[in-house]
A and B are shown apart, each in its own frame.
Chain A
Amino acid sequence: MPENTDAVILDGVPAVAPDGAPVPVDKRDKPRSLWNDAWYDLSRKPIFYISALVILFLIVISIWPGLIASQDPLQCNLIDSQNGPSSGHWFGFDQQGCDVYTRTVYGARASVEVGIFSTLGVAVLGAVLGGLSGYFGGWLDSIISRVSDIFFGIPILLGGVVFLSAVKGGSVLTVSTFIILLGWPQLARIARGAVITAKEQDYVLAAKALGAGHGRILLRHIAPNALAPVIVWSTIALGTFISLEATLSFLGVGLKPPAVSWGIDISAAAEQIRNAPHMLLWPAGALSVTVLAFILLGDAVRDALDPKLR
């Protein structure tokens, strides 16, 4: 039998542990992980709900644009060219006589797809390479770090113009591939730093002392503790990748017509900004709101997951 009957909680009154410290009593639930804590923190933030709603809406309309837009974005009539807003066409028409509202709704899909594909790719590639280089160190670390330095040295727009005009693809896949190729080193650095911090903790030593192998240490001890910065950075990066797609499409090297994308529409509208400002306003506004929503969400997630990062 233990000589100290430790901290028995009676009637919800916090008993005092034999150590003299009060036992934290949690009335809401018993097992409370740090993830639960983070979720609890998030669930009380209005910013989180607003940005999550915007993002949810974007995802829904990028899967089923027909839900809120009844017309075809490629069904255009030159007679309507540059016509301003009217009843039935609240956002007006663009140069080609296409309905701006329909095109803005349909344009969400390209942005969301590029954002999600490139973020997933960057997160997986960056976290794996950065994690391995941080964990094993040595020559593997040297190689991965030097390679990522090389990619860091490539200006992303110049690289985009060169790479994307060389592959002549102009699809969501090629744009995402390009973003993954140039985006992973940033995340690899973050993951490497997080893994190096985690691997020096005593609980990793304790696991080693128990005889745990690399796989167990990486998956059970390091990954869960190094994940927070990766998630936070990925959420924020998703927004910037969407704006990068728009930028590349604006420059004419990203998605190409007849694809529907905000970047393409902004590019077309920029030439007519004096005659028909409404052409620019809607796709540009949609882009800004989307990017803002992801950045705000990332901020909220960061505050919840790691208050120290603030």
Chain B
Amino acid sequence: MSEPTLSKDPESSAATAAEAGAPVVEAAEAAAAQLADREPILQVRNLVKHFPLTQGIVVKRQIGAVKAVDGVSFDLYAGETLGIVGESGCGKSTVAKLLMSLEQATAGEVFYKGQDITKLSGRALKAVRRNIQMVFQDPYTSLNPRMTVGDIIGEPFDIHPEVAPKGDRRKRVEELLDVVGLNPEYINRYPHQFSGGQRQRIGIARGLALNPEIIICDEPVSALDVSVQAQVINLMEKLQDEFNLSYIFIAHDLSIVRHISDRVGVMYLGKIAEIGSDAEIYEHPTHPYTQALLSAVPVPDPEAREHRERIILSGDVPSPANPPSGCRFRTRCWKAEARCAEEEPLLAIPTRFAEVDTPAKHESACHFAEEKDVVGAA
């Protein structure tokens, strides 16, 4: 297992990366040393979710499985933000649901402070739920239209009465509204009286109600206008500092993920292709899929746009019901060789970088991992 690295400030790392690789490495190593004595708050090991495909009306026969998540492992440390990016259908949201125990994992473990939460049920699961909460993608469907804001944000206290005594709840709800930047007088309003950004704030307030340690954000801003996205992101960053939250931030918007994340994992077809600090992933990607993904990020500067190389992948994403053998990306990869079809690349630090001090030294699931200059990415 490699040391997870952490680099807090994307701007400084971007600047240093432009000069040379070395300072980044120093920063990353310092952060790694800092992290080394920290226990991960959440450890995900070989998480698998297969949705069975059945046939037959009365007697159902399983004829296959959609391998939505097929062996995902990562760690989450206290106070950090782990971004997970990938295109639609790569299993990001299923990972979120598995971490929330909203879906039953087919295999694998999720350790929260050393306790495997995938096997929990009943009271023990309910206790863990206090510490892991979720913010949903669509603020229009994630709030019950028949409940007032006060009831929505107060519901966590109804379910976990030990968190707030009964007489205290209204005050707590008003405080939460205040914390997310909404007028506490709105407590008796209904969701349809709010704008999308305000609704997302309500959703965040509900997630915060139980004082969780981890908040899983499943595309929390992708349904919002760009101007509102920034406000919600800033709010989330502020709350992270205030309450020492750990975020798992799932999104397909690469620049937002870079902005908010300390570390980033790139998913493709149910597996993590590459994972590392945001500077490592965005400035020194070694997995061809990450490189292709980053080359698709729009560049505002027309000059830079002219000079950069776009990697256009051929073909479509293979069906997760019948993924390719070996490396899942090989059908669209320009580097693919016979070995890729036979041998599945493991998510590990590529051997060629193991001995060198370079930002490319991070986990990448590719036999031929190497840096490729993707100019102006993100």
Give residues in A with beta carbon < 8 Å to B: 1-8, 17-24, 26, 30-35, 201-203, 205-212, 216, 220-221, 224-225
A30, A201, A206, A224: the one within 8 Å of B134 (CB): A206
Bitwise, B321-357 to A at CB < 8 A (1) or not (0) is 0000000000000000000000000000000000000
- Residues of the B chain whose Cβ atoms lie less than 8 Å from the Cβ of A32: 189-190, 193
Q: How far, in Å, is B212 (CB) from chain A's closest CB?
A: 10
- Residues of the A chain whose Cβ atoms lie less than 8 Å from the Cβ of B231: 4, 18-19
Q: How far, in Å, is B148 (CB) from chain A's closest CB?
A: 6
Of the candidates B144, B179, B188, B210, the one having the most CB atoms from chain A within 10 angstroms of its own CB is B144
Q: In the complex where A21-B198, A202-B141 touch, is A211 in contact with B147 (Cβ < 8 A)?
A: no
Cβ contacts A to B, 26 pairs, < 8 Å: A2-B179, A2-B181, A4-B235, A5-B183, A6-B198, A18-B231, A19-B195, A19-B227, A19-B228, A20-B228, A22-B195, A23-B198, A32-B189, A32-B193, A33-B148, A34-B192, A201-B144, A209-B102, A209-B129, A211-B125, A211-B129, A211-B130, A211-B160, A216-B159, A221-B144, A225-B144
> Nearest chain-B residue to A33 (Cβ)?
B190
Q: In the complex where A202-B137, A202-B142, A203-B141 touch, is A30 in contact with B147 (Cβ < 8 A)?
A: no
Q: How far, in Å, is A197 (CB) from chain B's closest CB?
A: 11
Question: Contact between A220 and B193 (Cβ–Cβ < 8 Å)?
Answer: no
> Nearest chain-B residue to A30 (Cβ)?
B188
Question: Contact between A3 and B146 (Cβ–Cβ < 8 Å)?
Answer: no
Q: How far, in Å, is A138 (CB) from chain B's closest CB?
A: 11
Question: Contact between A21 and B196 (Cβ–Cβ < 8 Å)?
Answer: yes
B133 within 8 A of A: yes
- Residues of the A chain whose Cβ atoms lie less than 8 Å from the Cβ of B198: 6-7, 17, 19, 21, 23
Alpha-carbon separation in the docked complex, A17 to B197 (Å): 9
B206 within 8 A of A: yes
A3, A6, A203, A224: the one within 8 Å of B142 (CB): A203
Q: In the complex where A17-B195, A31-B148, A216-B159 touch, is A2 in contact with B178 (Cβ < 8 A)?
A: yes
Question: Contact between A211 and B126 (Cβ–Cβ < 8 Å)?
Answer: yes
> Nearest chain-B residue to A37 (Cβ)?
B192
Bitwise, B101-142 to A at CB < 8 A (1) or not (0) is 010000000000000000000000110011001101110011
Question: Contact between B146 and A224 (Cβ–Cβ < 8 Å)?
Answer: yes
- Residues of the B chain whose Cβ atoms lie less than 8 Å from the Cβ of A17: 195, 197-198
> Nearest chain-A residue to B133 (Cβ)?
A209
Contacts A24-B193, A225-B144, A225-B145 supplied; 14 other A-B pairs, CB < 8 Å: A4-B181, A7-B182, A8-B183, A17-B195, A18-B181, A18-B197, A19-B197, A30-B189, A31-B188, A203-B143, A207-B144, A209-B133, A221-B144, A224-B146
Alpha-carbon separation in the docked complex, A34 to B234 (Å): 32
> Nearest chain-B residue to A142 (Cβ)?
B58
B155 within 8 A of A: yes
> Nearest chain-B residue to A205 (Cβ)?
B102
> Nearest chain-A residue to B229 (Cβ)?
A19
Question: Contact between A21 and B159 (Cβ–Cβ < 8 Å)?
Answer: no
- Residues of the B chain whose Cβ atoms lie less than 8 Å from the Cβ of A33: 146, 148, 190
Q: In the complex where A3-B238, A18-B181, A26-B193 touch, is A203 in contact with B129 (Cβ < 8 A)?
A: no
Q: In the complex where A6-B198, A21-B197, A207-B155 touch, is A34 in contact with B189 (Cβ < 8 A)?
A: no
Question: Contact between B102 and A208 (Cβ–Cβ < 8 Å)?
Answer: yes
B366 within 8 A of A: no
Q: How far, in Å, is A139 (CB) from chain B's closest CB?
A: 11
> Nearest chain-A residue to B144 (Cβ)?
A203
Q: How far, in Å, is A131 (CB) from chain B's closest CB?
A: 16
- Residues of the B chain whose Cβ atoms lie less than 8 Å from the Cβ of A1: 178
Q: How far, in Å, is A169 (CB) from chain B's closest CB?
A: 38
Alpha-carbon separation in the docked complex, A24 to B198 (Å): 12
> Nearest chain-A residue to B141 (Cβ)?
A202
Alpha-carbon separation in the docked complex, A216 to B179 (Å): 27
Question: Contact between A34 and B146 (Cβ–Cβ < 8 Å)?
Answer: yes
> Nearest chain-B residue to A223 (Cβ)?
B146
B156 within 8 A of A: yes
Alpha-carbon separation in the docked complex, A207 to B156 (Å): 8
B37 within 8 A of A: no
Question: Contact between A206 and B206 (Cβ–Cβ < 8 Å)?
Answer: yes
- Residues of the B chain whose Cβ atoms lie less than 8 Å from the Cβ of A24: 193-194
- Residues of the B chain whose Cβ atoms lie less than 8 Å from the Cβ of A30: 188-189
> Nearest chain-A residue to B228 (Cβ)?
A19
Alpha-carbon separation in the docked complex, A208 to B160 (Å): 13
B95 within 8 A of A: no
Alpha-carbon separation in the docked complex, A4 to B180 (Å): 8
> Nearest chain-A residue to B143 (Cβ)?
A203
Q: How far, in Å, is B302 (CB) from chain A's closest CB?
A: 28
Q: How far, in Å, is B240 (CB) from chain A's closest CB?
A: 14
- Residues of the A chain whose Cβ atoms lie less than 8 Å from the Cβ of B227: 19-20
B24 within 8 A of A: no
Alpha-carbon separation in the docked complex, A205 to B103 (Å): 10
Q: How far, in Å, is A186 (CB) from chain B's closest CB?
A: 23
B100 within 8 A of A: yes
> Nearest chain-B residue to A20 (Cβ)?
B227
